[in-house]
Each structure stands twice: as structure tokens, then as C-alpha cells.
């Protein structure tokens, strides 16, 4: 797959990790980057704390189902 060809050519960042932004930049440089705007919401889940918040948000409001409430409102309700 093309993405793995790109990944094989990457060098680790200063953090010692391969970065998704480098993959995105490669697609942009090739002129093959595309995107879609999706309905619903997104929240970070890259740390234990943010994963816990995301889990509470899904437990309170359901995945991509907010009933007119913002994710922040649901997080406040979940925090009690």
C-alpha cells in the first residue's frame, strides 16, 4: 500500500517516533491528500487522561450522538 511506502521512507522525529503529520505532508507533496467533513464530534484520546474523558463522553452521550448538546456540556455532566 502507498502509505507503507511513505512510512518506510520516514525518519523518526525528535521524539523518536514516526509522525502522522509527516505522512500527511507526503500526501500533500504528491498532490494526493484528500479529506471529508464528517458529522458528529471528535476528541483527543492520546493520553490516559484524554482517553478517560473521551470514554466518559461516549458513556454519557453515545458515540456521535449528542442530542444537541456540545461535547463540553456532556463532559461537565459526566464529571459531576
52 or 62, greater pLDDT: 52
**pLDDT computed for residue 58 by the predictor:** 82
Q: Which grid cell sits at 21?
A: 503529520
pLDDT at 64 over 70: no
Q: Which grid cell sits at 47?
A: 493520553
Distance CA 10, CA 26 (A): 10
Mean pLDDT, the chain, integer: 83
Amino acid at each position: 500500500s502507498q502509505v507503507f511506502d511513505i512510512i518506510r521512507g520516514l525518519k523518526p522525529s525528535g521524539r523518536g517516533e514516526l509522525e502522522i503529520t509527516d505522512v500527511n505532508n507526503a500526501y500533500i507533496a504528491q498532490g494526493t491528500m484528500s479529506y471529508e467533513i464528517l458529522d458528529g464530534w471528535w476528541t483527543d484520546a492520546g493520553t490516559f487522561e484524554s482517553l478517560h474523558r473521551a470514554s466518559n463522553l461516549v458513556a454519557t452521550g453515545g458515540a456521535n450522538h449528542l442530542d444537541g448538546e456540545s461535547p463540553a456540556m456532556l463532559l461537565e455532566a459526566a464529571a459531576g
